[in-house]
Structure 1
Amino acid sequence: MPRPRKCRRLSACVPCSMFKPNGIPSVELTKIQLEADEFEALNLGDVEKMSQLDAAARMGISRQTFGNLLASARKKVATAITRGHALVLPQERQES
C-alpha cells in the first residue's frame, strides 16, 4: 500500500492553459498533463535555479520527491516538444 501524499506548497502562477504546436487544432493532438506539483518543481529548479534541497524545503517535501517531480516534469516537456504533443498546464493552484 503506497504512503499517503504529503501536502505540497505551490506558489508558481501558470501563464496559460496549454502549449501546443502551431497550426494544428488541439483536438487533433495527444495531450500530456503537467501536474501542479511538477510545474512548481520545474519553476523552482530550472527557472529560479534553486538547489533541490532548498526547493524541496519550499514545497514542503523531501529532496528525493522533488527530484522525482522535476524528472517527471522534464520528461513530459521534452516528450511534448519532440513528438509534437500538446502540453496541458494546471489551471489553478492547489495544495494536494
Structure 2
Amino acid sequence: MPRPRKCRKVCELPQIREFHPTGGGPCAAAVIMTVDEYEAIRLIDQQGFSQEECSTYMQVARTTVQMIYNSARKKLAAVLVEGRPLRIEGGDYQICDGDEAYYGCGGCRRHRCGCPREAMEVEE
C-alpha cells in the first residue's frame, strides 16, 4: 500500500484560477496545475525562496518541493509553447491559519494582522 500524501501548506488560494491564450486557435485541453504546484512557483520564482526555504514553509521535504516545482515548470512550458489554457485546482494542500512563527512567504503576515496586500507592499 502506498504511503499517504502529506498535505502541503499554502499561504492562500490563487485569486485568478484560469488563464486562456488569446487568438482564435483551436481549443486545446486545459493544463491542470495543482494549488501546491502554484505555491511552489510563487514562493521560488516570485518571492525568491530557495528550495530549502520553500520546503520549510510548505512543511515537506526539499526533494518533494523539487518534484512539485519541476512538475509545475513542465506544465507552464506546455501552456506557453502549445498555447493551451491553464487551470489551477486540486492537490494535497492546507491553507495556513496565519499563526505560524515564520511568515516569510509574503502572505501569512497579511493573515496574521489582517492587512490588505497593498499595505504590505508599501511596508517592504
Shorter-chain TM-score: what band?
A: 0.7 to 0.9
Q: Highest CA radius of gyration, 1 or 2?
A: 2
Instruction: Identify the residue that residue 65 of structure 1 maps to in structure 2.
Output: 64
Amino acid at match of 2:69: L
Counterpart CA distance in 1 for 2:12 and 2:38 is 8
Instruction: Identify the residue that residue 31 of structure 1 maps to in structure 2.
Output: 30
Q: Note the residue ranges of structure 2 that are not aligned, 5 or more in a row.
A: 96-124
1:85 paired to 2:111: no
RMSD: 2.2
Task: Confirm or deny: 8 A CA contact 2:32 2:86 kept in the other structure.
Answer: yes
Instruction: Identify the residue that residue 21 of structure 2 maps to in structure 1.
Output: 21
Amino acid at match of 2:42: N
TM superposition score normalised by structure 2: 0.67
Counterpart CA distance in 1 for 2:69 and 2:17 is 20
Task: Confirm or deny: 8 A CA contact 2:13 2:35 kept in the other structure.
Answer: no
Q: Which gives a bigger RCO, structure 1 or 2 (Cα 8 Å, sep 6+)? A: 1
Further displaced range: 37-46 or 12-21:
12-21
Aligned residues: 93
What is the identity percentage for the equivalent residue pairs of Structure 1 and Structure 2?
32
Give CA-to-partner distance per residue, 1:45-79, whole Å, 9 cap, x none. Answer: 11111011111010000000000000000110111
* Structure 1 runs of 4+ with >2 Å offset: none
Counterpart CA distance in 2 for 1:43 and 1:24 is 30
Counterpart CA distance in 1 for 2:37 and 2:24 is 26
Counterpart CA distance in 1 for 2:17 and 2:23 is 17
1:45 paired to 2:44: yes
TM superposition score normalised by structure 1: 0.85
